[in-house]
Chains A and B, each alone.
Chain A
Amino acid sequence: MKLKKILKIITAYLADAVIILYLITSLFSEHNGSVVIPASAVYIIAIILLVKNIILIIIHKYKFLDKIAVILNILAEFKKGNFLHQENNNQRNDEMSNIITELSVIGKYIDNIIIRFKDEIQILRELYNNIIFSISSYLIILNKKKKIIFANDAFCKKFQFDLDDIYGKTIDDIFLFVADSLQNSVIDIYKYKESIILEKTHLLSRNWISVIADIKISNMFVQGEEQIVLIMDDITSKCRKDYQINLISQVTGSIQRDEEIHKILYTILYGITSGAGLGFNRAMLLLLDPHKKYLKGEIAVGPDSIEEAIEIWNSLPAAGSDIAIIASPFDITNGKGSRLLEKVLSAKFELSSDNIFAKSFKTLENIHIYDSWNDRSVDDNIRNFMDVTEFVVVPLIVENRAIGVIVADNKYNQVPIGNDHIELLSIFAVQASLLIESYQSVSTLKKEMAKIKSRQEAMIESEKLAALGRISSHIAHEIRNPLVTMGGYARRINQMAEGNEKIQHAAEVILKESIRLENTLSNVMDLTKPQALMKNLNNINDIITDTLGLLKNVFLDKRIFIETKLSNKIPLIHLDSNQIKQVVLNLIQNAVDAIPENGKIEVISGVNSQNNGIFITIKDTGTGVERDNLENIFEPFFTTKVTGVGLGLPIVQRIIKDHNGDITVKNNDTGGAEFTITLPYVSS
């Protein structure tokens, strides 16, 4: 090869050399005269040769530049990181080619190195990707304009986004609902040096995917650019479990507290719908009406619009751990959902008709409607009533019979109703059923108890009255005997002392008092055997004045101040004056016994506020009635007096009852007792 090349070079230049040699010898041989060549031809040939050589040089020069361009090209490829290039087939054994060849070798060498590093980089990248992608957490990165520049697979999968779709969007663009706390944290993150962790935050995407997550928000700087990293740990299912357990214990707790049925039912429905993103959006309870003809709306919980829903979600912790804060149903809702409640309360669904509620009720089965608009089993009535695509009906079952249904849906976030949701609903349906049932049996029981109690009381009362009859007749006998003797002799004295007015008057007093006592005795007897009342038109004020007159000496003796406020507008009413006198007397006598010396008794009469009768009030400044005794005070033989028999007030009550009136007792402001009698204008 080399020899060939040398020969080639030699032949190329040898021809030139021979020609030039010949020309030179020709020039000199002119003088010898042997060979003559014109000088001009020599010059021409010389020029031709020169041109030829110049051309050759230019060609060579061109070839050299060509090589340089190749080198430059290779170097440019190197710069690009492309270290392998197509080797030029044009094998030429010149220096340039060697250089190019060398460069190729270097390129290959570098390429090898790079390939080796590439693998390592690839491994690192894969490792990195594995970390990013295999973590179940959702990861998104925002640039300083709060636009999404990266989201990991978990995030995209969960929310069913394509990274390309969400690239460059804000959180608001992709989420329908984001808790205020998250919004604010993203805006303010640069103020904090450390990451912010938001627990149990509710997220609802534009495509209706709802998640509860612990969100870690941190600030990071990449090549001087501020970026925000959001790592979301999905705790939805954990929260749901917590929430369910919590809810069950809450509801059970409220049942044990024996709260009002409505409140507990509300708690149940509230529970089903609480916990933004966990529960249902709306829940309604329909119960069988007493005539068993239709299902009637009983209670409902849920917002009336998406705005209300968002407001509620924002105001509640997502996990629904605070359902115990329910004080009163209507405190919480702040009027939200009032339209729903109103609608449900006025709703009735005939059991005889073939509607879906009645069906669930009759078959005792959960019914899940996926598309109410197209489902033929849903009639127009219910379709309009629900006004939602998907809903679920769960019967309330007690001992194999239904007592109502719970209907629930996700009208506002349109989250598909999963089996776990229905399961939860069933649990509460059972709770609610038991609750309603036990409440109903308890109230029946209570009614029965009340009946028994009133019967028992009546029996005790009649027993008491029988005993009262026996005892009172005995007492009456013991008193009446000496009484009639006294009275009889007083009468005699009165007759015998004709002409002596002083004696006659004294005898009359004895006589009058004994007659009164005899009347009292009769009344005592009357407790067991009421006599026909001797009713006449009477002025109650006269009766009061008469009675007070009888006791004048007692008042003087005990220095008791009597104050009367008798209304002059009192009409005459039908009553037995002797008996009413007895009443007033008994009450005033009690007052006298109750107050110390220098006490005060107030007697007031007037027309009662309903203007259908009159009242008499007797107040004293005594010690009043002990609270425990207020109930017993009208019971026969109940007395707090040392010398009392305990018949005064029962007699009073009996008389007032016979007049179709009423008597009440209380302790007034001064601490003394206050009795008020009311008597109707017309007493049959």
Chain B
Amino acid sequence: MNRILIVEDEQNQRELYATELEEEGYEVHQAHNGEVAVKMVTSNKYDLVILDIRMPEMDGIEALGKILSREKKLPIIIYTAYSNYKSNFMTWTANAYLTKSSDLTELKETVKKIISSKSR
């Protein structure tokens, strides 16, 4: 079973994504900010990280750098309500940059695509 880490400060959203992705057959862990996420990535093995950008304590951009410095090959999807962070070159290191939507189809498909390409 592929393990996904969702990094999101909004609890409701986090739980929604978790529920939906679990239904897709993934094992989903949750982190409520970047700092927690960096810790979890070092102690656990994940197949994919879904990362919000704007969060308290440590934001997604900082977390992105820290995660990648530990796990260079860990796929990361940036999933944010900001559309303009696409221009921040840090986000280019992520595998995908998606704008949040109530429709999770896009997210699910991207997750599926990344995980399947990784397992090949």
State whether the Cβ of B54 lies closer than 8 Å to any Cβ in chain A: yes
User: For the complex, is B13 an interface residue (Cβ under 8 Å from A)?
Assistant: yes
B29 within 8 A of A: no
Instruction: Check B16 against A518 for contact (C-beta < 8 Å).
Output: no
Let me know if B101 and A518 touch, CB within 8 A.
Answer: yes
**Chain B residue with Cβ nearest A522:** B83
A296 at the B interface (CB under 8 A): no
Inter-chain contact B13/A488, CB cutoff 8 Å: yes
A489:B103 contact, CB within 8 angstroms: no
Q: Say if the beta carbon of A434 comes within 8 Å of chain B.
A: no
CA distance A484 to B100 in the complex (A): 7
**B84 and A491 contact, CB distance less than 8 A:** no
Q: Does A511 contact B (CB under 8 A)?
A: yes
Tell me the B17-63 residues at the A interface (CB within 8 Å).
Answer: 17, 19-20, 54
The answer to the question of B69 belonging to the interface, with a C-beta cut-off of 8 Å to chain A, is no
Complex CA gap A484/B19 in Å reads: 15
Q: How far is the CA of A480 from the CA of B12 in the complex (A)?
A: 13
- Any A CB within 8 A of the CB of B82: yes
Cross-chain contact A484 with B84 (CB below 8 angstroms)? no
Cβ contacts under 8 Å, B90 to chain A: none
| Contact status B102-A484, CB under 8 Å | yes
A residues 465-486 with Cβ under 8 Å of B? 469, 473, 476-478, 480-481, 483-486
B100–A514 touching, CB < 8 Å:
no
Q: Are A483 and B102 within 8 A (Cβ)? A: yes
Taking a contact as CB atoms under 8 Å apart, the answer to whether A525 and B83 are in contact is yes
Number of contact residues on A: which range applies? Answer: 20 to 34
Contact with A along B77-108 (1 / 0, CB 8 A): 00011111000000000000001111110000
With both beta carbons as reference points, the residue of chain B lying nearest to A472 in the complex is identified as: B84
> Of all chain A residues, which has the CB nearest B19?
A492
Pick the contact of A473 from B19, B83, B100 — CB < 8 Å? B83
Find the A residue at minimum CB distance from B54. Answer: A477
Report the separation of the CA atoms of residues A528 and B82 in the bound assembly, to the nearest whole angstrom: 13
Residues in B with CB closer than 8 Å to A492 are: 16, 19-20
Asked if A271 is at the interface of the complex by the 8 Å CB criterion, the answer is no
A538, B103: Cα distance in complex, Å: 26
Whether A473 touches B10, Cβ cut-off 8 Å, given contacts A481-B100, A486-B102, is no
> Does A550 sit within 8 A of B, measured CB to CB?
no
B17's nearest neighbour on chain A, judged by CB, is A488
Which size class do B's interface residues fall under? 10 to 19
Partner among A480, A489, A491, A529 whose Cβ is within 8 Å of the Cβ of B81 = A480
| A490 to B102 alpha-carbon distance, docked (Å) | 8
Which of these, B20, B54, B84, B103, contacts A487 with CB under 8 Å? B103
With A and B bound together, what is the CA distance between A491 and B16 in angstroms? 10
Known: A481-B10, A485-B10, A489-B16. A518 touches B84 (CB 8 A): no
Q: Which B residues touch A481, using CB under 8 A?
A: 10, 13, 81, 100
A528 CA / B86 CA spacing, docked (Å): 13
Among B13, B20, B54, B83, contact of A484 (Cβ-Cβ < 8 Å):
B13
**A477-B54, A481-B10, A492-B16 given; A487·B102 CB < 8 A:** yes
**Which B residues are in CB contact (< 8 Å) with A491?**
102-104
Contacts of A488 in B (CB 8 A): 13, 16-17, 20, 102-104
B111 to chain A, nearest CB (A): 15
Residues of B within 8 A of A487 (CB): 101-103
Cα A514 to Cα B103 in complex, Å, equals: 10
From A483, A485, A522, A528, B16 is in contact (CB under 8 Å) with A485
Contact between A469 and B10 (Cβ–Cβ < 8 Å)?
Answer: no
In the complex, which residues of chain A have a beta carbon less than 8 angstroms from the beta carbon of B83? 473, 476, 522, 525
CA A535 to CA B75, docked complex, whole Å? 35
- The contact of A480 among B20, B84, B100, by CB within 8 Å, is B100
Q: Give, as a whole number of angstroms, the nearest-CB distance from A375 to chain B.
A: 80
- Chain B residues positioned under 8 Å from A484 (CB to CB): 13, 81, 100-102
A515 interface residue (CB < 8 Å to B): yes
For the complex, give the distance between the alpha carbons of A529 and B85 in Å: 12
Bound: A353/B84 CA distance, A: 69
By a CB distance below 8 angstroms, the chain A residues around B101 are 484, 487, 518
- A527-553 CB mask vs B (1 if < 8 Å, else 0) is 011000000000000000000000000
A489 pairs with B84, CB closer than 8 A: no
- The answer on a CB contact under 8 Å between A525 and B102 is no
Q: When the two chains form the complex, which single residue of B13, B20, B82, B103 contacts A477, counting CB atoms closer than 8 Å?
A: B82
Additional A-B contact list (5), CB under 8 Å, known A487-B103, A491-B103, A525-B84 = A477-B81, A481-B100, A485-B102, A514-B102, A529-B84
Interface, chain B (partner A; CB < 8 A): 10, 12-13, 16-17, 19-20, 54, 80-84, 99-104
Instruction: Identify 10 residue pairs between A and B in the complex whose beta-carbon atoms are under 8 Å apart, listed by A's number.
Output: A480-B81, A480-B100, A481-B13, A485-B10, A487-B102, A488-B20, A488-B104, A515-B102, A518-B101, A522-B99
List of 8 A-B pairs having minimum Cβ-Cβ separation, nearest first: A487-B102, A480-B81, A477-B81, A484-B100, A488-B16, A473-B84, A485-B12, A484-B102
